[in-house]
């Protein structure tokens, strides 16, 4: 088979196989004649592959296979030949061996047959955006995850770390349950499957999330509900009367500059205020300061808010996905950022400077 083909499916399998696991099975991939399989605490995956030349399944270290295929020409052919407790591989003038992994356990079969939900095209992006808040290290155990909840014809995807909150709304379609919670890395894994494999359909039950595409089957875990109803928190910020388009690329450059000027290992913040309709960002460290004024269209020239200090790393997370800033709550040190395609809201909380 082609090196590029083996590399691609092994890289996809690395979203499930866990190189850090103490369990040999969870670190491994199973290769057979036309199938790659793997499982771990992150889920269970089966991928149809081109003919590997193997006559029976072998369990191999996933990281080792990935390293080998990543170091070889993608358009070259690689051959695999099992021999006793190892697999010999050869690619042109390069050859080597992979030890077969032995495990007391086997990868469970994926036999789910009912897939009632065809996700909308923007689900993968919605999952990534909804992970914006949960990815932060400050997240508490009770808030660790993304809440997916149906409201009429809308599917909400929300996460929070108690300092920031990310909310995405997309059409629910035939989403099969009222509400679930998923924890990292599941949102990113599911997004990768949806964008990589064509024609994916999904089912959600108490046993987890089941996915089937043209050449992929997967089973991903669901988690216990979050301790707080995040949708109610979003409802506490209905106003959007003082808004302005923002140059998110310029703001990101400011944040990066401030990061470079920050004191090493210090808590990293950016000050934000409105002075006579102008958005001003400020940062100060022991050795330096920096300030930048941003002109905001359609913002009331009389509008003024005192300086609020926001966690800069949390602010930076959303900048690539937002277009508009809402200043209605800046007086209470709350900044709201919004994007579209899909409908995305990011709320970040700080303190008075």
Residue 133 and residue 119: Cα distance in Å, rounded? 23
Residue 226 and residue 181 in contact, taking contact as beta carbons nearer than 8 Å: yes
Nearest in space to 116 (alpha carbons), one of 202, 199, 179? 202
Using pLDDT thresholds of 50, 70 and 90, give the confidence band for residue 298: confident
Domain at 243-352, CATH class: alpha beta
pLDDT of 81 strictly over 60: yes
pLDDT at 25 over 70: yes
234 vs 229: CA distance, rounded Å: 9
Higher pLDDT, 96 or 288: 96
Q: What is the pLDDT of residue 267?
A: 74
Tens digit of pLDDT for each residue in 161-207? Answer: 989 999 999 999 999 999 999 999 999 999 999 999 999 999 999 99
Q: How many angstroms separate the CA atoms of 52 and 6, rounded? A: 9
Q: Give every strand in the sheet of 86-91, ordered side by side.
A: 79-83, 86-91, 94-99
For the chain, the domains span 3-99, 123-234, 243-352
d(CA 28, CA 63): 8
Question: pLDDT grade, residue 19 (50/70/90)?
Answer: very high
pLDDT (0 to 100) of residue 135: 63
Q: Which two tokens stand for residue 54?
A: 């193997």
Burial of 160 (0-12, 13-18, 19+ CB in 10 A): buried
Provide the percentage of residues in the chain whose pLDDT is more than 90.
Answer: 83
Using CA atoms, how far apart are residues 146 and 144, in angstroms rounded to an integer?
7
Residue 266's alpha-carbon distances to 18, 104, 206, 221, in angstroms, are 32, 48, 43, 37
- Select from 3.40.50.170, 3.40.30.10, 3.40.220.10, 3.10.150.10 the CATH code of 3-99: 3.10.150.10
Beta bridge partners of 188: none
Return phi, psi of residue 332, to 5°: -110, 25
* pLDDT number for residue 186: 97
Measure the CA–CA gap between 183 and 209, rounded to whole angstroms.
12
Asked if pLDDT for residue 266 goes beyond 70, the answer is no
Do the domains spanning 3-99 and 243-352 agree at the CATH topology level? Answer: yes
pLDDT in tens, 95-140: 999 999 999 999 999 999 999 999 999 999 999 999 999 865 555 6
- What is the structure's pLDDT at 295? 77
* DSSP code per residue over 196-254: HSSS-EEEEETTEEEEE-SSEEEEE--BPPPSS-HHHHHTT----SSEEE--HHHHHHH
pLDDT of residue 20: 94
What is the homologous superfamily of the domain 123-234 according to CATH?
DNA Polymerase III, subunit A, domain 2 (3.10.150.10)
């Amino acid at each position: 088979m082609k090196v590029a083909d083996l590399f691609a499916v092994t890289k996809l399998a690395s979203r499930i196989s866990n190189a850090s696991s103490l369990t040999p099975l969870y670190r491994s991939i199973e290769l057979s004649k036309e199938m790659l399989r793997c499982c771990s605490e992150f889920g269970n995956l089966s991928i149809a592959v081109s003919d590997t030349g193997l006559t029976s399944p072998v369990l191999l270290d996933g990281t080792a296979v990935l390293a080998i295929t990543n170091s070889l020409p993608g358009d070259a052919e690689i051959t695999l030949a099992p021999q006793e407790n190892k697999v010999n591989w050869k690619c042109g003038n390069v050859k080597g061996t992979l030890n077969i992994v032995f495990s007391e356990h086997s990868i469970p079969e994926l036999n789910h047959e009912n897939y009632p939900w065809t996700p909308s095209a923007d689900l993968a992006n919605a999952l990534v955006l909804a992970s914006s808040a949960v990815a932060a290290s400050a997240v508490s155990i009770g808030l660790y995850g993304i809440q997916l909840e149906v409201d009429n014809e809308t599917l909400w995807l929300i996460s929070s770390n108690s300092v920031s909150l990310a909310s995405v709304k997309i059409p629910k379609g035939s989403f099969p349950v009222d509400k679930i919670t998923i924890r990292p890395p599941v949102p990113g894994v599911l997004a990768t499957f949806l964008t990589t494999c064509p024609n994916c359909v999904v089912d959600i039950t108490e046993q987890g999330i089941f996915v089937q595409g043209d050449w992929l089957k997967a089973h991903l875990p669901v988690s216990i509900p979050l301790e707080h109803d995040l949708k109610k928190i979003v409802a506490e910020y209905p106003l959007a009367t003082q808004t302005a388009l923002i140059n998110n690329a310029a703001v990101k450059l400011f944040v990066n500059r401030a990061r470079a000027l920050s004191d090493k290992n210090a808590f990293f913040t950016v000050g934000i205020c409105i002075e006579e309709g102008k958005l001003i960002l400020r940062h100060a460290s022991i050795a330096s300061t920096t300030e930048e004024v941003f002109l905001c269209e359609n913002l009331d020239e009389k509008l003024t808010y005192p300086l609020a200090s926001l966690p800069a790393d949390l602010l930076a997370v959303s900048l690539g996905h937002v277009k508009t800033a809402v200043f209605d709550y800046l007086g209470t040190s709350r900044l709201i950022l919004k994007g579209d395609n899909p409908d995305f809201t990011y709320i970040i909380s700080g303190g008075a400077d």
